[in-house]
Structure 1
């Protein structure tokens, strides 16, 4: 009798799902790779003497990223998240670059995307302090994470994150 109750209960539990849940193991996978291995930033010291959070100095660079679909399925990329880390691995800043309309990448193909990155005075100060010497120079790295959908399945893509080393120095 107990077995009958357990089986009936299990059938009722399974029947509570609104719709069947699909799991696709063959969804599109996108790898993101910066074209350059290291990018230097010159950050001006505007406002108070020294780099400080909320001072107006900003250094910017155009960074080219290669986006490659790895398993042969077409995908749409709708944003790229970036995270800036110091050399100790502590997150300094984060942001998202929306891509409108979404960037379509054919199965097994690649494309390049140019992203404008900014290093503000506060970011530069954090990178400078992390190396133990406050000498208006420091190192860190950006992590890039694409997000998007598999065109045919409509599910989130798999990702392979990319990393870019940066160097900051005080602008002359």
Structure 2
């Protein structure tokens, strides 16, 4: 049987796991593909259009018709994303069990910028610079204050 056609001879059989059945619990659902296709088509003019993409920065534009809602990005959520909406900072929200990133958005035109630079990189850079500075100071001190070695002659 085809899933697209309803036929006269289709049957639905239910096998019970327990010997009783409450009549109000079974539910059947039907996917309304025509409605889904119409909804997707209506959203095509309101997609997030990426205008610039770099390894740690994404910029794009979007026009929304909905008074209030959320813009879902299909990128992993991380608290180190720095996001601006028309130049104003926006707090990212973790959605779908802390897997994806979303931001609150209101009706109108928006230019969204997402910039990613995680804190551990800053910590690593700072520690590395401190290590280099300590090494340079140590070498300078050694050259200035080290006494030449005296070699004993036999």
Structures share fold, TM-score greater than 0.5: no
TM-score, normalized by length of structure 1?
Answer: 0.28
For the pair shown, which has the larger CA radius of gyration, 1 or 2? 2
Greater RCO (CA < 8 Å, at least 6 residues apart): 1
TM-score, normalized by length of structure 2?
Answer: 0.30
